[in-house]
Amino acid sequence: MQRSSDRWVRRTSARLVLLVAALFAVGGAILPGVVSAQSPYSTISPVTDQANDINDIYKLTFWLSLIVFVGVQIGIVYTVLSYRRRAEGERPEQIHGNKTLEIIWTIIPAIILLIIFIPTVRTIYAHDDQVNNPDLVVEVYGKQWWWEVHYPSEDGESKIVTANEIHVPQGKRVVFHLYTNNVIHSFWVPQLSGKMDLIPGHENKLAIDTDTPGYFFGQCAEYCGDSHALMRFKVIVEPEEQFLAWQDAWLAGPQQASGDLAGGDIAAVPQSMALCMTCHEINGVESVAGGNAVPDLPEELDAARTFGPNLSLLGCRTTLAAGTLRNTPENLASWLHDPEGIKPGNYMGTVITPGSLTDEQIQEIVTYLESLQPEEGCGEIPVQPGVTEQVQVQDPD
């Protein structure tokens, strides 16, 4: 009786252990892939060589971990089920240890770690080397809480300065040079590569090979103050001709696509923009009549943080306020009405509060800014196959 019930316990234990192991293995293998690859920020859906290299090591560590995990859990569950106390007086053999076993379970993990370490080191050095051979350099400056993007040029004159939407040509090695003059940020487009921090006084570089066209979502990954969560951006990988066209359009300066404004001239900036132009720039616009007289600019708005995003070609951007809002006239109007309410802590909100601008002024500014587009239109943004047209925004209420 005793023996058969023992056997029953053991057989049931073995089955249970197998079941648990199978559940863990299947669940562990499938779940992360299924649930995590859906996001536009997925770290396991690489589209560049760099992100692929990283994902390969991740997959290696993942499978090794899964094996160890299932092994250990089987060990625990089996032990727990098999060695329950059956009688109160029972006292098992007093084993103090086993040298051979202990050496084995020191060496096996060491071997597993070596298997991970070798490709790790190889990838570290390979990626580090890549930053020295760029086809195109793009400088990115982290701000609170948006991204300023510079395309350096030989003459310095034709330098492009834009924000939050980074156009790059397809099939090139693009190297981002990362800077900040305020707090630390981290530049991260998960599908393109791992993250790299922006640190005051340091120049960091990150290389990507842009093989797949499309737009890819980025975000700040290092806590940088109030609106850290609203510091999104986009990398737009487009065929080279289209990239060059965008570049030319930018350098030509924005044109007004609509003739709604008096005179139809880019330079005819409405008077209501005077306050805007103390912090923002628009290519081809020197100043606004009566401008540059900022009422009570808060003292902490020093040079390091004063300048807001360059607004040239704003009509072509897909989002406003670093990916916080979709770029529609209504959203632009609510942004101008209450920047603080939409993006807590942002510096525009210290100058413009609800009531600072009248509804008429807001309408005038919206009409002007939305009309800042190239003559031939904005050009289509290529969408990566399989990724639905979605913009990372929240509604303003």
Partner 1 sequence: MASIAQPQVMAQPITKPATGLWSWLTTVDHKRIGIMYGVTAFLFLLLGGVEALIIRTQLARPNLDVVSAARYNELFTMHGTTMIFLALMPMSVAFFNYVMPLQIGARDVAFPRLNAYSYWIFLGGGIILNLSWFFHAAPNAGWYGYAPLTSTSWNPGRNVDFWLIGLQVLGVASMLAAFNMIVTVINMRAPGMTMMRMPIFSWTTLIVSILLVMAFPAITAALILLAFDRYAGTGFYEYAAGGDPLLWQHLFWVFGHPEVYILVLPAFGIVSEIIPVFSRKPLFGYSVMVYATCAIAFLGFGVWAHHMFTVGMGPTANAVFAGSTMLIAIPTGVKIFNWLGTMVKGSLRFTTAMLFAVGLVSQFVIGGLSGVMHASPPVDSQQNDTYFIIAHFHYVLFGGTVFGLMAGTYFWFPKITGRLLDERLGKWNFWMAFVGFNATFFPMHFVGLAGMPRRYFTYSEDSGWGPWNLFITIGAFVLATSFLVFIINVVKTLRNGEVASDDPWDAATIEWATSSPPPVYNFASIPEITHRDQLWWDKYGDHGAGSGVERKAPAPKEQVDPSSIHLPNPSYFPLVSAFGFFILALGMLIDNPVLTIGLLHLPILVPIGGLIMVVAIYAWAFEPAG
Q: Which stretch binds partner 1 (CB under 8 A): 9-17, 58-66, 242-250, 331-339?
A: 58-66
For residues 329 and 344, give the distance between their C-alpha atoms in angstroms, rounded to a whole number.
Answer: 21
For residues 346 and 335, give the distance between their C-alpha atoms in angstroms, rounded to a whole number.
Answer: 11
Site string for partner 1, 234-273 (x = CB under 8 A): ----------------------------------------
Residues written for the chain: 397
Site string for partner 1, 288-327 (x = CB under 8 A): ------------x---------------------------
Closest alpha carbon to 56 in 126, 131, 116, 127: 116
Residue 284 has which token pair? Answer: 């081809």
Site string for partner 1, 2-41 (x = CB under 8 A): -----------------------------xx--xxxxxxx
**In terms of CB distance, is 186 or 334 closer to partner 1?**
186
Instruction: Write the CA distances from 126 to 120, 186, 204, integer angstroms.
Output: 10, 21, 16
353 part of the interface to partner 1, by CB under 8 A: no
**In terms of CB distance, is 110 or 293 closer to partner 1?**
110
Please identify which residue in 47, 163, 224, 336 interacts with partner 1, judged by CB under 8 A.
224
For residues 67 and 328, give the distance between their C-alpha atoms in angstroms, rounded to a whole number.
Answer: 51
Closest alpha carbon to 216 in 239, 199, 193, 196: 193
Q: How far is the CB of 51 from partner 1 (least distance, A)?
A: 8
Residue bearing tokens 């570049």:
247
383 part of the interface to partner 1, by CB under 8 A: no
188 part of the interface to partner 1, by CB under 8 A: yes
190 part of the interface to partner 1, by CB under 8 A: yes
72 part of the interface to partner 1, by CB under 8 A: yes
Q: How far is the CB of 389 from partner 1 (least distance, A)?
A: 10
Residue 253 has which token pair? Answer: 């300066």
> What amino acid occupies position 155?
D
Q: How far is the CB of 12 from partner 1 (least distance, A)?
A: 16
H/E stretch holding 208 reads strand 204-209
For residues 380 and 163, give the distance between their C-alpha atoms in angstroms, rounded to a whole number.
Answer: 18
Kindly report the CA angle at 250 between 370 and 48, in degrees rounded to 5? 100
Please identify which residue in 9, 21, 25, 120 interacts with partner 1, judged by CB under 8 A.
120
Q: How far is the CB of 129 from partner 1 (least distance, A)?
A: 8
Q: How far is the CB of 308 from partner 1 (least distance, A)?
A: 18
For residues 168 and 236, give the distance between their C-alpha atoms in angstroms, rounded to a whole number.
Answer: 6
User: How do strand 325-326 and strand 204-209 relate by DSSP bridges?
Assistant: unpaired
223 part of the interface to partner 1, by CB under 8 A: yes
Beta-carbon contacts of 84 under 8 Å, excluding residues fewer than 6 positions away, are: none
Residue bearing tokens 């890819």:
216
**In terms of CB distance, is 207 or 313 closer to partner 1?**
207
Q: How far is the CB of 258 from partner 1 (least distance, A)?
A: 29
